[in-house]
Chain A
Amino acid sequence: MKKIQVSLLLLLIACMELHASGFAQAKINLQLKETTLKQVLNEVEKQTDYRFVYHTGTLPEDRKVSIHVTDATLDEVLSKAFSGLPITYTVKDDNLVIIIPKAPKPPVDRIIRGQVKGGPDKNPLAGVSVKVTGSAAGVTTDADGGYSLSVPDGATTLEFSMTGYTSQTIYIGQRSIVDVSLELSVKNLNEVIVTGYTGYSRNRSASAVTTVAADKINEVPVASFEQALQGYVPGLSISSVSGQPGTSASVILRGVGTITGSNNVLYVMDGIPIESNEFQAINPADIESVTVLKDASAKALYGSRGSNGVIVITSKKGKRGRVVVNYSSQYGLSALTSTKFRMMNTAERKQFEEGIGLETGAEAGPFWIYSKLNPDYALKTPAEQALADHIVDSLSHVNTNWRDLFLHDGKFMEQQISASGGNENIRFYSSLNYFDQQGIARTTGLKRYTLKNNVDFTAGRLTAGVNLSLGYSASDLLQQENTSSGVRNPLAAVYYAEPYEYPYWPDGKLVTTGDGSDYPYLDQREGSDSYERMLNSTNKEGQFKTILGTNLSYKITNHLTAKTRLGIDYSHREDEAWINPDSYAGSRVTPGRLGSLSEGYVQHYSLITTSGLTYSNAFNNVHDLEVTGLFEFLRNTYKSFGYTGYGLDARLPQTPAGIGDPGTYTPILAGAKTQNATASYIALARYTYNNKYTLNGSFRYDGSSTVPVKSRWHGFYSAGFSWEVKKEDFMNDIDVISNLRLRASYGTTASPFANDFAYVTTYSRISYGGNPGIIPYTPGNPDYDWEYAKELNIGFDLGLLKSNRIRLTAEFYNRQTYNLFFPRMVSATAGIISTDAGDANTIPLSSGKMQNRGVELDLQGDVIKNKDLTWTLGANMAYNKNKVLDLGGYDEFQYGYTGIIRVGLPFGAQYAPKWAGVDPANGDPLYYDRHGKITTDYNEDTMSVAGFGTYVPEITGGITSNLFYKGFTLSALFSFNAKVTRYNNEEYYNENPSFITSNQSTRMLYDRWKKPGDHTFLPRISAKRNFSSRDFEDASYLRLRNVKLGYDLAGLLGSRKYIQGAQIYVQAQNLLTFTSWRGFDPENGNEYAKFAYPSPRTYTLGLNVNF
């Protein structure tokens, strides 16, 4: 090239020389406006002897210049004309001016400084990432928001970003000081999406993800962080299974994609996968952000484990700058929410027992047994009659409030201190937290202690980090909660206990059934027995959890980085359940009748290593490529052991030393061990062209021990495309749209096997009369294969009006699961017993197909935005439609408590004979048969129909409002569920002739058929209580999940010598619930409601101080 250019040039020079003559140093006068360079040169040629020589293309044709000079030299004119252009010239002796492109000179870096402020108060922001657009170079701001960045010569813009704030791209021009103010973002459209393997900014990612920032999570008074996500992430359905402190919620992303496989979302903390449903030892205040990966292009990175969605947790990291110390503290109270049903009081109970007695003769309680209305009364002696009258009279005066006995307002307290800071080479974040929440049931509560230490090092080309979380939680639980509708469950006893029963005798003794000989009682003692049991039993759970992650990366060249990561998730849970041998509850224990003590532990150890190379390069200003290759190995080991000992010595409570002689009181031992391992080869690639078009691709090849050898290895891939429409020229003039991005992705993922060895046929040990034997245990299935899903996602991000004042993100998806794991029912003659690998009379299959299709919308808008007042409103909603497409040749099978799995119906479809009301003539319960005919002949098998909805909500969402006014913040979060039906098992017990001796709902008194002509909801008392569609209730709800009022004390603090900032706030959880559901809590995530601990209403007062 060079040679040709030179020869061409020489040839030109030779030609031009012929015309060269005089006029050197001539003065030039020009008055040119918006003229092309060619015209400028022509004008100079007219006025002087200079002749210009240049190669076509050297002068940019679109460059227009205005030159106004008088008596100027050639130098002056040309430097003006060529200003900023890569052009230079030389003047030959003969006035020949040769114009040539400037040799590209090495770029000269310059230093840009500035300060970043943010939020409504414009406080200095530490830890903001400042980056030169299109380059990897960047720094973070120090404690005072300051930064200093070396910027390459050609750079035009800087990017400022921080989680929780709207990123900004600033044109730097010639400035050397660039100060920026960032807005708090409710919904950030351009943040970095952390997937655990990659960190792409949102405009370079095709993925459907939602990020929830620290401010939504940190101060919510829940012990299990995932509960704080409710209502923020469209498509993520979160239901608290139990209000017992520390209980993990049921989390489902984009519908249920399996039948008996795992439905667990994969949780990844700082790159380390952690156990799901074991979060009580993780401190929500240490979380910087939570990113929910929803579509295949993001989830496929996790291949065999990503199908149910991935929740990536990023913990807080240290930032360069002054050490910042933060102290925060919260105090509060939890109270029981009220229910829609009401149980009978004593007067109603009297009326009820008398009514039942007159109708059927059945003895529902003492109000009938001793009643004047009872035919037996006439047979009594006058003395007996007087006694009976006295009994009825005295019982009528008792009206026990069982709630006050079993429940109370639980206290809440949390204290946290954290420090963070660092320099160029080392940055740290450390925190200590103490959390103490009493439950609403008197003996329950959770105490948690956590420690978090994150340290990051940078040394030249090497960066490394160590993240350590240590947590210990100690819970006091109820022994029978959520597993029993029986009276042993205190939360059921609150309702079942008779109002005319009072646990304490006048002498102060708590009288139970066991005292019947000495303290004659006339009620069932159900409440008292349960109350005594609650007071004399403990159920403690201690959980110790360590999550340790180390990562190391080394920049081999500017574009090639080697990285390796090692993670350990270790948890050790200890359970201890004790029943006092000196109590009535203890005397009910067999063997021994002297209480029991069980202790056990479950240990989980998970090790993951990930290593590989990343190549990233941006070239020619338009191509941006990143390719990563990784190898990963994951191993999970579980171990458990436990015993139950009997015949306790009351003088040695809650210790194995108190256990009776094993020869007399045979203890029970139990324990198990299992493990699984997965190996993966991972390839990831991203290519962005001109900041507009991005392609994401991934391939992962996984092998798992949970799959039979012949299908052990499986490949997963994904491809995604993203288009920054707003960056196209044709969008320049459309001011109303400030941001538009289209995304599409497709890929495959799988969900892990719920059981480590479901495919293996096994024998297990058993004993008969003390002699050892063996039995066939799991039937196995050698054809077991991966349960995998294919998912298509199309979405867009739209920003409207100036600076994205209205923001809309929409996603449409279609996920199909193949090789569905489900149990095939076999005849009882096959002899299969129920095991932890499956139900009785079923064989595990992997066959069949299920579909989840849905839409997710997230709309956020700044309703008011001025200096003093900002009001942001947001609403998100997800609609998911599930459908079973194929069951491997089978049409349907009944599943779970009340459901049917049938081709064409959604998973979780409720299935029962349809209730047709009560026959007014005789009080018979009526049902529809499958032909729509009303009948009294109940047959669950031949009459059950679907069509009562599903227990997995089809619609979920949340509404948020954030108001900032001067120093005040008022935020509210509503969450809602719609199109969901649950089985109200509480009502099945509260309105059931089998339980008339226990207290029942007032509907049993007022709305029960008693005589011909009665139009009632409930049938006659002597009719069988059959399970039918009347037990299904709409469990839709709208709940004011959180409301918080905060005030920033910055203005009141004055000099701020020691205190940098302080906030106080009050907040309430579950303040209001709108629902037609009659059970305890519409939210409890199961298909049925079974006297689970309801979510309490919690009020807290909090303080944050920064030093």
Chain B
Amino acid sequence: MSINIYRKPSIALLAVALCLGACNKQIDLTPTDSIDPSKAFRTVDDLNQGLIGAYANLSYYSSIYYTSIVTDECMLPSENSSGSGFATHRWQYDGSFEHPAWPDNYVAIDRANRVLAAMDNVQAKPGEEGLKDQYKGELLALRAYCHFELLRNFAEKYESGAMGVPYMEVSDVNGSPARLSFGETMAKIDADLAAAKALIPADFDDNTRITRIAVSAMQARASLYEKNWDNAITYATEAIDALPLASRANFPKIWKDATEDEVFWRLKRVTGDEAIGDLYTQAGYLDDPGGSKINYAASFKLTNLFDQTNDIRFSAYINIDAVRQAAGKVPNVVVKYMSDDPSDRNLVDIKLYRTGEMYLIRSEAYAQKDNLTSAAADLNALRAQRISGYADESFADKQTLLDALVTERFKELAFEGHRHFDLRRYNLPIQRNPEDAVNALGAVLLEPTDAQYVFPIPNTELRANKNMKQNPGY
């Protein structure tokens, strides 16, 4: 039957013509598994989804990891045969080293900027105006936070005229932004934080997102790096007043996600997210200490700083394993990120801002302003809360107090991604004890003048962005 069609050319032509129309339609396909940009942001809830998309890319993982392995926080035990991070631990990195903090933070910033750009086109329904403001505030604060993280990792120096990082305020796929100075970057961070604080309602208290009080904590830390001591005192006080230190009983629970005490902002981690504890120890150490390998152990240098008996921080962070010690293995196990959930031992939330740090910030700011009394009071208050039977210490002079603060920060904020930046703030070298450098192949002292003291801007960025400048020495 169908063959007859071809006998009549007109019918065949008609068939072809019909086909032509039909086929254009047949090949007019659209993706089934992704969202059309025109449909991305239509409602206030869509804006929230875009904001969540930005939160989803925040990862403090690499900052904690690299701080631990490039500083004196950790040592490399012989039993780690993975090779992972060895060259970095030995300070053998060059421009080809791609610190994930570089792309990760800019991706989050870009997501935030896209939602901010879409904001004006989204009509809020009655009652949603407050939510819209809150989301805008969170977006601005998140943008500031990410830029601040970039600055801590990649700024040439923490000095106003030194090279900072590009500050992205609009999404630009084809841009070649140049580095602002450290001071210029900080100014924009401050501006975004201030704007955010005005928008986020005080009653919004989900600490897996950025609340108004979290913004205060962020401002306090930013002020510290800026050396704006007055602001540091103001914002740290805001934070401390809103959220007191955890009790000694509750302190270990912070790290098991069993309490929200003392935490201004944490990155919520669920199954499938990176397990922060994997950096240090194979999952399952608590269940089978003899059958688990240590990737990176707490350094003897750090371990020995603690009052191991009375300081609650020590047992919350580090376990000196008797079995391992007897077997001649490195005993200092980092247990700070081990959860109580036997199914996911190394998966816990990442705490970004805590009250403990606020005390240290305020103490340091007071000390810098030569208010030694207030400075010592804050330091002693913190220690008293952490160390059982602690007797207040008095400090002879500003320098002694500042030195004590550097050490206290080392202990209080161990494995929280601060040590590297704290040393950089005071231009102090990274120095390892010999027993911590057994497998470091000679990487014992890294001076502030060494290139590796500051992370390089990744080569890929230099290639793609003609206006980008590398940090000195690379």
Which residues of A come within 8 Å of B, CB atoms? 360-365, 369, 486-487, 512-518, 520, 524, 526, 554, 556, 560, 562, 564, 584, 587-588, 590-594, 613, 631, 633, 635, 646-647, 664-666, 668, 672-679, 681, 703-705, 709, 712, 756-757, 760-779, 825-833, 840-841, 843, 893-894, 938-942, 989, 992-995, 997-998, 1021-1022, 1024-1025
A678 to B24, CA, bound (A): 9
**CB contact list, B373-408 vs A, under 8 A:** none
Residues of A within 8 Å of B109, CB to CB, are: 829, 831
- 21 A-B residue pairs with Cβ-Cβ distance under 8 Å, sorted by A, are A487-B81, A554-B3, A587-B288, A590-B344, A590-B345, A590-B347, A593-B287, A631-B19, A633-B26, A757-B31, A760-B30, A768-B52, A775-B50, A776-B37, A827-B176, A829-B166, A830-B172, A940-B94, A940-B96, A998-B81, A1022-B442
The chain B residue sitting closest to A680, CB to CB, is B23
Let me know if A517 and B16 touch, CB within 8 A. no
Q: With A513-B292, A666-B271 in contact, do A762 and B168 touch (Cβ < 8 Å)?
A: no
Give 16 new A-B contacts, CB below 8 A, not counting A590-B275, A668-B271, A1021-B441.
A365-B78, A587-B284, A591-B343, A592-B344, A703-B24, A709-B28, A760-B31, A768-B52, A768-B268, A775-B53, A825-B463, A827-B465, A832-B107, A939-B95, A994-B83, A1024-B87
Give the interface centre of A766, A774, A1024 by most chain B CB atoms within 10 Å. Answer: A774
Q: With A554-B3, A633-B23, A703-B27 in contact, do A831 and B107 touch (Cβ < 8 Å)?
A: yes
A631 to B271, CA, bound (A): 51
Contact of A773 among B23, B34, B55, B270 (CB under 8 A): B55
Residues of A within 8 Å of B33, CB to CB, are: 672-674, 764
Let me know if A513 and B291 touch, CB within 8 A. yes
Let me know if A556 and B102 touch, CB within 8 A. no
Let me know if A363 and B34 touch, CB within 8 A. no
The chain A residue sitting closest to B58, CB to CB, is A768
Q: With A590-B346, A828-B102 in contact, do A361 and B438 touch (Cβ < 8 Å)?
A: yes
Residues of B within 8 Å of A516, CB to CB, are: 290-292
Let me know if B272 and A994 touch, CB within 8 A. no
A564 to B15, CA, bound (A): 14
The 8 closest A-B pairs by CB, nearest first: A831-B110, A517-B290, A773-B52, A769-B268, A762-B34, A1024-B92, A514-B291, A679-B23
Let me know if A517 and B291 touch, CB within 8 A. yes
Q: What does the 1/0 interface line of B19-51 toward A look like (CB < 8 Å)? A: 100011011111111111101100000101111
Residues of B within 8 Å of A768, CB to CB, are: 52-53, 55-56, 268
**Chain A's nearest CB lies how many Å from the CB of B54?**
8
Binds A, one of B240-248, B303-311, B454-462: B454-462
A762 to B40, CA, bound (A): 9
Give the interface centre of A592, A705, A773 by most chain B CB atoms within 10 Å. Answer: A773
**Chain B's nearest CB lies how many Å from the CB of A833?**
5
A935 to B460, CA, bound (A): 23
B contact residues, total (Cβ < 8 Å): 107
Query: Is B468 located at the chain interface by the 8 A CB criterion?
Result: yes
Let me know if A765 and B35 touch, CB within 8 A. yes
The chain A residue sitting closest to B94, CB to CB, is A939
Let me know if B173 and A833 touch, CB within 8 A. no
**Chain B's nearest CB lies how many Å from the CB of A593?**
5
**Chain A's nearest CB lies how many Å from the CB of B15?**
9
Let me know if B110 and A666 touch, CB within 8 A. no
Query: Is B161 located at the chain interface by the 8 A CB criterion?
Result: no
Specify the main secondary structure of chain B where it touches its partner.
loop
Contact of B49 among A666, A773, A997 (CB under 8 A): A773
Query: Is B371 located at the chain interface by the 8 A CB criterion?
Result: no
**Chain B's nearest CB lies how many Å from the CB of A898?**
12
Contact of B173 among A513, A676, A773, A830 (CB under 8 A): A830
Let me know if B442 and A360 touch, CB within 8 A. yes
A558 to B276, CA, bound (A): 77
Q: What does the 1/0 interface line of B84-114 toward A look like (CB < 8 Å)? A: 0011001010111000001100111111011
Residues of A within 8 Å of B293, CB to CB, are: 513
Let me know if A775 and B288 touch, CB within 8 A. no
The chain B residue sitting closest to A825, CB to CB, is B464
A761 to B24, CA, bound (A): 22
Let me know if A778 and B438 touch, CB within 8 A. no
Residues of A within 8 Å of B465, CB to CB, are: 827, 829
Let me know if B83 and A362 touch, CB within 8 A. no
The chain B residue sitting closest to A777, CB to CB, is B34
**Chain B's nearest CB lies how many Å from the CB of A556?**
6
Residues of B within 8 Å of A518, CB to CB, are: 290
Let me know if B110 and A776 touch, CB within 8 A. yes
A870 to B35, CA, bound (A): 67
Query: Is B183 located at the chain interface by the 8 A CB criterion?
Result: no
**Chain A's nearest CB lies how many Å from the CB of B328?**
7
**Chain B's nearest CB lies how many Å from the CB of A400?**
16
The chain A residue sitting closest to B344, CB to CB, is A591
A771 to B288, CA, bound (A): 34
Let me know if A833 and B107 touch, CB within 8 A. yes
Query: Is B283 located at the chain interface by the 8 A CB criterion?
Result: yes
Residues of A within 8 Å of B441, CB to CB, are: 360, 362, 993, 1021-1022
Query: Is B323 located at the chain interface by the 8 A CB criterion?
Result: yes
The chain A residue sitting closest to B26, CB to CB, is A677
The chain A residue sitting closest to B324, CB to CB, is A516
Let me know if A995 and B111 touch, CB within 8 A. no
Let me know if B175 and A829 touch, CB within 8 A. yes
Contact of B460 among A767, A769, A825 (CB under 8 A): A825
**Chain B's nearest CB lies how many Å from the CB of A788?**
18
Residues of B within 8 Å of A777, CB to CB, are: 34-35
**Chain B's nearest CB lies how many Å from the CB of A149?**
28
Q: With A590-B346, A769-B270, A832-B173 in contact, do A995 and B34 touch (Cβ < 8 Å)?
A: no
Contact of A826 among B86, B173, B275 (CB under 8 A): B173
Residues of A within 8 Å of B250, CB to CB, are: none
Let me know if A994 and B87 touch, CB within 8 A. yes
Query: Is B6 located at the chain interface by the 8 A CB criterion?
Result: yes
A58 to B463, CA, bound (A): 85
Let me know if A588 and B283 touch, CB within 8 A. yes
Residues of A within 8 Å of B370, CB to CB, are: none
Q: With A765-B35, A774-B50 in contact, do A941 and B438 touch (Cβ < 8 Å)?
A: no
Residues of B within 8 Å of A939, CB to CB, are: 94-95, 474
Let me know if B173 and A843 touch, CB within 8 A. yes
Let me know if B27 and A678 touch, CB within 8 A. yes
Let me know if A674 and B31 touch, CB within 8 A. yes
Residues of B within 8 Å of A664, CB to CB, are: 343
**Chain B's nearest CB lies how many Å from the CB of A579?**
14
The chain B residue sitting closest to A773, CB to CB, is B52
**CB contact list, B283-317 vs A, under 8 A:** 283-284, 287-293
The chain A residue sitting closest to B278, CB to CB, is A590
Q: What does the 1/0 interface line of B253-275 toward A look like (CB < 8 Å)? A: 00000000000000011111001
Query: Is B174 located at the chain interface by the 8 A CB criterion?
Result: yes
Contact of B52 among A646, A771, A829 (CB under 8 A): A771
Residues of B within 8 Å of A363, CB to CB, are: 78, 438-439
Let me know if B34 and A763 touch, CB within 8 A. yes
**Chain A's nearest CB lies how many Å from the CB of B237?**
30
Let me know if A593 and B86 touch, CB within 8 A. no
Contact of A827 among B82, B114, B177, B272 (CB under 8 A): B177
Let me know if B23 and A775 touch, CB within 8 A. no
Let me know if A712 and B27 touch, CB within 8 A. yes
**Chain B's nearest CB lies how many Å from the CB of A784?**
14
Let me know if B27 and A679 touch, CB within 8 A. yes
The chain B residue sitting closest to A553, CB to CB, is B3
A915 to B94, CA, bound (A): 17
The chain B residue sitting closest to A824, CB to CB, is B464
Let me know if A514 and B288 touch, CB within 8 A. yes
Q: With A676-B29, A768-B56, A997-B81 in contact, do A775 and B111 touch (Cβ < 8 Å)?
A: yes
A518 to B441, CA, bound (A): 32
A779 to B2, CA, bound (A): 47
A635 to B28, CA, bound (A): 12
Residues of A within 8 Å of B95, CB to CB, are: 939-942
Let me know if B106 and A938 touch, CB within 8 A. no
A384 to B98, CA, bound (A): 45
